[in-house]
Amino acid sequence: MSSSYPPLAQALVDTMVSAADGAPDRAVAFQGAPGAYSHQAVREAFPDGLPLPCAGFEDAIEAVQIGRAGCAVIPIENSLHGRVADMHFLLPESGLSIVGEHFVRVRHCLLGLTERADLREVKSHPQALGQVRRHLRACGIAPVQFFDTAAAAAAVAGEGDARVGAIASRLAGELYGLNILAEGIEDADHNTTRFVVLSRNAVLPAADVPVMTSFNFEVRSVPAALFKALGGFATNGVNMTKLESYLRDGKFAQAEFYAEVEGGPHDPAVARALEELAFFTNWVRVIGTYPKARDRAA
């Protein structure tokens, strides 16, 4: 674990790591300090699991690869900021399968040691600070960048300066004994992060469960390659909910794409569309077929 955690967070990390190491099959890896929104996602999606905090996304993925954790819960996109950096590389390269998805409504809290009137500055991750920018300006509170929302809460609790607060989750406030001075202070009320559950082994959902399928592919360097590659999804009536492009290894000729569709390869329409996709691409990798979250539409 990273030594950069504030002492209060490190103490929780050590306790949680010890518990998870004692029952790796129940361990659920996540990135961040205890109290992070990823930690909240683990508690919601796996109430009986043992959260395993990891310093980075690669560490959380590796924990699953080597059997230290049964699965990992990783953020993939946010309704305000779009794709989480490097996920389009890490997911297909991990060799793991997506076996589930979970949505977390991000409700930022203003946390402090005493009263709101005492605050002069707040610490948090730059993205969180950007999401509460108008609220902070209206209150005359200066933002201070920190590497992690929950770690910022731990730092504030440990430093003991009533003039300094944090922007983090309610969970972080509860874990580190901070007062919740305000809740839901984000500037956009739709702020939601989507997480995926990664496992060493694919899990075939029940036949009557609505599913999603995630995959990536590389188009051939020929005219209209993408148009032709995606034509099979249109002609077979398959709904594609996500399509993102990215470049790898300094190549500017052939783009790689990450895509998601409703349905699974066991559906004849999806199977035909994937077969047609393979004809117009250099390769196709299915990363996972998994149950569609109930609150996806919301």
How do residues 77-92 score in pLDDT, each as one tens digit? 988 877 887 777 888 8
Q: What whole-number distance in Å separates Cα of residue 46 and Cα of residue 31?
A: 15
Q: What's the CATH number where 256 sits?
A: 3.30.70.260
Q: Quick check: is 205 in a domain? A: no
Give the pLDDT score at 247. Answer: 79
Residue pair 122/176 in contact (Cβ under 8 Å)? The answer is no
pLDDT in tens, 167-222: 999 999 999 999 999 999 998 888 999 999 999 999 888 888 999 999 999 998 88
* Residue 193 annotated in active site: yes
Give the pLDDT score at 2. Answer: 43
Same domain, yes or no: 140 and 229: no
pLDDT in tens, 144-167: 999 999 999 999 999 999 999 999
Confidence check: pLDDT of 288 > 50 = yes
Last residue of a domain, one of 135, 169, 199: 199
Q: Which residue in 195, 215, 257, 280 is the catalytic one?
A: 195
CA dist 23 → 34, 73, 200 (Å): 18, 17, 17
Q: What is the pTM of this model?
A: 0.92
Q: What's the CATH number where 43 sits?
A: 3.40.190.10
Same domain, yes or no: 95 and 14: yes
* Residue 235 annotated in active site: no
Same domain, yes or no: 225 and 256: yes
Same domain, yes or no: 99 and 117: no
Give the pLDDT score at 1. Answer: 41
Confidence of residue 26 (pLDDT cuts 50, 70, 90): very high
Q: Which residue in 149, 193, 213, 281 is the catalytic one?
A: 193
If one counts the domains in the chain, the total is 3
Q: Quick check: is 90 in a domain? A: yes
Same domain, yes or no: 90 and 179: no
Which domain, by its residues, includes 76? 7-104+192-199
Same domain, yes or no: 113 and 170: yes
Q: What whole-number distance in Å separates Cα of residue 153 and Cα of residue 7?
A: 11
CA dist 154 → 30, 41, 120, 139, 226 (Å): 18, 19, 18, 23, 48
Confidence of residue 297 (pLDDT cuts 50, 70, 90): low
Q: Quick check: is 296 in a domain? A: no
Give the pLDDT score at 263. Answer: 96
pLDDT averaged over every residue in the chain: 92
